[in-house]
Amino acid sequence: MSNEVSGSEENSTSLVEEVKIELSDIDNSDLTEHTARFDALHGKLQEALNSIDGL
């Protein structure tokens, strides 16, 4: 069981790091790209939240 929790925490951490990197990339991108990139990131975060509903 502890391995499952550890793996879950590891996935959470990597997702958080990915999101932070993506937000930084968005900040440095052209303003015209922001909407599409924020929408894609929002979808990724929604997917992650939906996956924890079953825990």
The 3 state secondary structure assigned to 13-41 is HHHHHHHHHHHHHHHHCCHHHHHHHHHHH
Other Cβ atoms within 10 Å of 42 Cβ, number:
10
Task: Check: CB of residue 32 under 8 Å from CB of residue 13.
Answer: no
**Position 55 confidence tier, pLDDT thresholds 50, 70, 90:** low
Tell me the per-residue pLDDT of 2-53, one tens digit each, with 9 for 90 and over. Answer: 455 455 667 777 889 999 999 999 999 999 999 999 999 999 999 988 988 7
CA 6 to chain centre: 18
